[in-house]
Every structure is written in structure tokens, then in C-alpha cells.
Chain A
Amino acid sequence: NAGVTQTPKFQVLKTGQSMTLQCAQDMNHNSMYWYRQDPGMGLRLIYYSASEGTTDKGEVPNGYNVSRLNKREFSLRLESAAPSQTSVYFCASNLLAGESYEQYFGPGTRLTVT
């Protein structure tokens, strides 16, 4: 049982480049999340998916797109990276939409945009 996995662990991009962060969970969870963590700020929700095929914007969605193609995987895409997107990105999952359950986090991706 790997839990929540993320790839890559580290990435350096130049301004304007694109990339996709991958996330997968093997716990049969319905809800999945993408967060960013910046110094001095709490984790902030970028996008959320309550179930396969559904996605909702979170607090800071601008500059990002997501895709929930199946129950296991939830990807985050930066179409044209900007220095303001330098951050640590965490994927998380939760058993069920509509209820509060313990969230399980991936190991994070440290992204630097130059």
C-alpha cells in the first residue's frame, strides 16, 4: 500500500514552460486535492475533485488546470509557468466527499520557476 504518490519530487522550469504534476492514490478514496505551500502561509487549496470526472476550483486556481481521469489519479498542469508559482505542491486524498475525514498527503513536489 503506497498511499499517495507524487511525481516528480523536484522540478525547475523556466518562465513560460509547461508541466504536469502527477498524483495517484491506492486507498480507493473518492476525494482528491491539490494544495500549494508557501513560506509564512498555510496550505492553500488549488483544485479539488469529489469523484472521478468532477473538479472544483479552490482558493488559488489561476494558472492551473486539473484532470481526474479515473478514481486513482489526479493531475495538476501548469500551462505557462510563472515565478509566482514557485512553491511546494502537495496532493492529498480523503475517503468521501461531503464529510470530514482524515486527509492523506503525498510527499510533495518542490517546483522552482526561474
Chain B
Amino acid sequence: KNEVEQSPQNLTAQEGEFITINCSYSVGISALHWLQQHPGGGIVSLFMLSSGKKKHGRLIATINIQEKHSSLHITASHPRDSAVYICAVSSPLFGNEKLTFGTGTRLTIIP
């Protein structure tokens, strides 16, 4: 199945580095979501976007609808950014209110 693929699966970087996490999907979507899962297990929504780019603090999310691809960037990474980042899509194929999730990218930032 794998309608949503993320890369890399694991990423380790030094504090201060620029981070990019990629998400590709294979279905027509109404929106793409980026979520963050903390080491303690809690999941929070970071972005929901259907076109262009969104920015919140040091996090930037972009989407290219034609290429069915999205990226999540973190500038000036910090150890507190260490988490699993999850990409998910909502599609009229499955019902816009339902999400199909990728398997996540585990990010570790070393001080």
C-alpha cells in the first residue's frame, strides 16, 4: 500500500544544522499534515497545508502538488527538536477527515 513514504527513516545531526525531512505521496490529496511525536509519546500537529509554504518559528513546510512531494525544514536545529516527525495526508479517496500516515522520521540532534 504505502500511499505515504518518508525519508530518511532516521536522521542524526549536530546542533545548529539545517534539517530536511521528505514526504512523498501517491494519491490526490486535499491537505498534507506534518506532526511531531515527542520522546514521551505525545503527538502534536505542526502544519496543515494544501499549497505553497508555511512557516512557524524555525520550522518551514513546503508542498509541491504536481510532484506529490512535501518537505519539512528545521533551521538552527536544537536538541529539543529531537522527536519523530510524521507526514500524513487527507484525500477525498478515503474521506477528507481521515488521515493516512507515513511511518515517521526519527530525528536526533546532538549538542
Q: Chain A residues in contact with chain B, CB under 8 A?
A: 31, 33, 40-45, 48, 50, 58, 88, 90, 92, 94, 96-105, 107-108, 110
Bound Cα distance A98, B101 (Å): 18
**Pairwise interchain contact A100-B96, C-beta atoms closer than 8 A:** yes
Residue from B4, B50, B98 having most chain A Cβ neighbours under 10 A: B98
Known: A42-B4, A102-B45, A104-B45. 5 other contacts (CB 8 A): A43-B101, A45-B98, A100-B31, A105-B43, A107-B42
User: Which residues of chain B are within 8 angstroms of A105 by Cβ–Cβ distance?
Assistant: 42-45
0/1 interface trace, chain B 55-95, chain A, CB 8 Å (1 if under): 00000000000000000000000000000001010100001
User: Which residues of chain A are within 8 angstroms of B31 by Cβ–Cβ distance?
Assistant: 100
Residue from A45, A96, A104, A110 having most chain B Cβ neighbours under 10 A: A45
Bound Cα distance A31, B99 (Å): 12
**Pairwise interchain contact B97-A98, C-beta atoms closer than 8 A:** yes
User: Which residues of chain A are within 8 angstroms of B104 by Cβ–Cβ distance?
Assistant: 42
User: Which residues of chain B are within 8 angstroms of A58 by Cβ–Cβ distance?
Assistant: 98
- The smallest C-beta distance from B7 to any residue of chain A, in angstroms, reads 14
User: Which residues of chain A are within 8 angstroms of B101 by Cβ–Cβ distance?
Assistant: 42-44
Given contacts A43-B86, A58-B98, contact A100 B44 (CB under 8 A): no
User: Which residues of chain B are within 8 angstroms of A42 by Cβ–Cβ distance?
Assistant: 4, 86, 88, 100-104
Chain B residue nearest to A56 (CB atoms) is B95
Given contacts A41-B103, A42-B86, A42-B101, contact A98 B96 (CB under 8 A): yes
Bound Cα distance A50, B90 (Å): 15
User: Which residues of chain B are within 8 angstroms of A48 by Cβ–Cβ distance?
Assistant: 97-98
- The smallest C-beta distance from B84 to any residue of chain A, in angstroms, reads 10
- The smallest C-beta distance from B28 to any residue of chain A, in angstroms, reads 12
User: Which residues of chain B are within 8 angstroms of A50 by Cβ–Cβ distance?
Assistant: 97
